[in-house]
Structure 1
Amino acid sequence: MLDIHPESFALCPEMPVLGLPELTRNLHLLGGDYQVAGMQAAPSEVLRGRMETLELRPGLVLYRTELQDLCTLRTSNLLLPGLKLCMLVQGSSELSYGRRSFVLGPQGGRSAAALVALAEPDRFTRHWQSGRAERKVSLTLMPEWLEANGVAHGAVQAFCRQHLAVAPWQPSARAMALADQIGRPPEMDPALRRLWLESRCLDIVVEALDVIARQGTGSAEGAAPPARHGALDARSHRRLRALRDFLDSGEADAMPLAAIARHAGMSAAHLQRHFPKVGGTSVVDYLRQRRLLRARQALERGEADVAGAAALAGYASAANFATAFRRVFGITPRQARQRL
């Protein structure tokens, strides 16, 4: 099994310092309209490390990074439609595809990957934090690549047609080892290097597409696939998707699990077992992360002080709130408020 220690990850100080022009290099392969928010004027030096965007085949795009943020801000760009596979090898990362937000990292309840379908153009957002480092591998499978390789059918096709569908993918140890290799390829002839990268990317793609094929349409907004033995039926999928939207609204913040299960029309045991298929984590963790995310947004927008943000997140103790906030985001609530 790959032995990676994400929390001790740090970049070598000898790595190059990058500015905004390096961030947008080859962006046309993925989309465009790069935007910066969170400060009046971005500094000339924003990142330390390296990044690369490669079109391995028409419609198969690799984006790999080994970076440390030198400032705290928020960037976004428009993405073209396609299937998005994002794998965090080391460090931590906060990102969003459209309205789907992900906190990737080593702490409990976090995932190491995101598998999302974009059926239409939408924005990708990354939240920067000064001093935070990440090693990340992202793959984009464009519709033309899926068609050309004969996999745009059945559950995969249904998944890709539903905007912002999310599949509950936890990469295997082998897939994580491959991502680690992709992040640091050996020195070789450029043409051979491209083939070397493609071979490893394809192994990861096969694993991810197999998850979609086995799970059906994941947490998409549309209909669920026909039920298999041990799988959710269409009615349960609809109920869980409706419940996820209910949790997102904030109306369930003060409700106990039993009441949430009753609202969804299912038992608490059924809910606990199957909600990760649409929410990516347990109901309790999903609610906690959403409340903390709303609290962070209120702090960054100047809509609440630390005490108000703690109350917004459901914490009576500011100290307990600060501990949970730092565990999820890697910074204190006070530091988040200083980003104004």
Structure 2
Amino acid sequence: MVPGMFIPADHHRHFVTKEDLMGQKESRPKRWLSPSLETDDQVLRGAIGFVKLEDGLTARFSNAEDLHDLTLEAECGPRICVSLILEGQIDAFIGEFKMPMPVYDPEAHHWTPAALVFSQSKPEKFVRIARKGVRIKKVILSISHEWLFGHLELSDQDFAVFKDFAERHFATLKWTPSAHAISLAEQIIAAPKRTPFQYKLYIATRAYGVLEEAFQKFSSQHTPAFVNAVDGKDRQKLESVERFLIEQQGHWITADELAFTAGMSPNSLQRLLNRTYGLSTARFIRRFMLEKAREALERDGLTISEAAHISGYSSPANFSTAFKREFGLSPKQVT
């Protein structure tokens, strides 16, 4: 396999061997933990890709099904990572941090992607534990601190926000990817086979689009809420809270309703949100729902009335007032 191996249209008939997987040039070295296989044994059905776009900026992507209960580990150096996992669920750990995975709705036959920006300020061990028959569709963009601050000027109004995030070990920032970002990720995953230069250019232009959307969340106008490190059980509770809020529209969610959904007392939820985000439950709900509306306005072309509805406001006027109070801009100014 060569770096940036394209994913063919007939990827379900394409196979990746142990040698392919372990021998990707320029990708981080991996250690094979299980199962015991020969180098020419097939381990994935589909394809994987790795492209070095610039010094300090790489793209890793896949659309592949595991053919075994497979466990790998590797060392990851300090970096900022933008992760967009479209489909599938595996157990992936960086140190003690467990990567969030997409959620599948069996009734709608639909995956809700998991999008995350996280920082590593020191080296950590990456462990991937996958089950036979699970297909993962993902794009992972890794950025060195040197790349970021080589492009970000000290005079930039968001410099301090990025610096604070980069220096905090396992700081995380989730966002709901727009239809545009998902489309860019799909194009990266299914990049057509071209000359090496054209192929790399094709990947790079789409990777920059994903970065642009993810990094918008660092804007001082967005007042991002970075997540402090939390343990596994608390992270599961936070993920259930966020999934619930993403799915809600048409009515306002109360603190008691959210606590009930999370299986917690209102006081316990308040303490968790304050410890993780520095926010009260009411403030967290308002910010989360307004961010959801802003993303829909900016990327998906919703009307103000539609954005009000998905954020739980029955009155577009009340929504507009809350929106301007949160972001310093009216809904019309972001469309």
TM-score normalised by length of structure 1: 0.61
Please provide the CA RMSD for this pair: 3.5
Gaps of 5+ in 1: 1-9, 222-240, 279-340
Checking the alignment, whether the CA contact within 8 Å between 1:219 and 1:277 is kept in structure 2 is no
Measure how far apart 1:52 and its partner are.
1.5
Distance 1:265 1:68 in 2: 36
Change (3 A) 1:174 1:88: same
Determine whether 1:220 maps to 2:228: yes
SS of match in other structure, 1:117: strand
Match of 1:23 in 2: 21
Q: Relative to 1, partners in 2 of residues 1:217 and 1:156: Cα closer, same or farther, differing over 3 Å?
A: farther
**Contact kept? 1:103, 1:111, Cα under 8 Å:** no
CA contact 1:11–1:68 (8 Å) conserved in 2: no
Task: Select which of 193, 200, 211 maps to 2:206.
Answer: 200
**Alpha-carbon contact 2:90-2:131 (below 8 Å) kept:** no
2:268 pairs with one of 254, 260, 282:
260
Displacement, 1:63? 0.6
Q: In the alignment, what sits opposite 2:66?
A: 69
> How many residue pairs end up in the alignment?
240
Contact 1:218 1:277 in 2 (8 A): no
1:60 aligns with 2:49: no
2:149 maps to a residue whose letter is: E
Please tell me whether residue 100 in structure 1 is matched to residue 97 in structure 2.
Answer: yes
Q: Residue 123 of structure 1: SS of its match in structure 2?
A: strand
Provide, for residues 126-176 of structure 1, a one-character-per-residue CA deviation record: whole Å limited to 9, x for no partner: 221101112211100111211221268221121011111110222111000
Checking the alignment, whether the CA contact within 8 Å between 2:84 and 2:113 is kept in structure 1 is: no
**Of 11, 27, 37, the match for 2:33:** 37
* Structure-2 separation of matches of 1:151 and 1:24: 38
CA distance in 2, matches of 1:187, 1:264: 48
Judged with a 3 Å threshold, the aligned counterparts in structure 2 of structure 1 residues 220 and 22 are, in CA distance, closer, same or farther, namely: same
SS, match of residue 186 in structure 2 = helix
- Correspondence for 1:274: 284
Would the aligned equivalents of 1:159 and 1:212 in 2 still touch at CA under 8 Å? no
- In the other structure, the counterpart of 1:137 is 139
CA deviations on 1:238-285 (whole Å, 9 max, x unpaired) are xxx6xx6884799xxx9842341465697xx9326528999xxxxxxx
- The residue identity in structure 1 corresponding to 2:46 is G
C-alpha distance after superposition, 1:90-123 (max 9, x if no partner): 3334322221113412326965223211111112
1:73/1:260 CA distance change after superposition, 3 Å? same
Q: Distance in 2 between matches of 1:90 and 1:121?
A: 27
Counterparts of 1:220 and 1:277, CA distance in 2: 17
Specify whether residues 75 and 111 from structure 1 end up closer, same or farther in structure 2 by C-alpha distance, changes over 3 A only.
same
Supply the distance in 1 between the matched residues of 2:286 and 2:69 (Cα, whole angstroms): 31
Structure 2: where are the runs of 5+ without partners?
1-8, 106-110, 238-261, 289-335
Distance in 1 separating the partners of 2:44 and 2:62? 11
How far 1:215 sits from its partner (Å)?
4.2
TM-score, normalised by the number of residues in structure 2: 0.62
Q: CA deviation at 1:53?
A: 1.1
Q: Does 1:159 align with 2:157?
A: no
d(CA) in 2 for partners of 1:275 and 1:96? 28
What is the rounded CA distance, in whole Å, between the counterparts of 1:248 and 1:88 in structure 2? 17
Change (3 A) 1:94 1:255: closer
Change in Cα spacing, 1:11 to 1:119, as seen in structure 2 (3 Å) is farther
Aligned equivalents of 2:131, 2:287: Cα separation in 1: 30
Instruction: Note if contact 2:270-2:280 (Cα within 8 Å) is conserved in structure 1.
Output: no
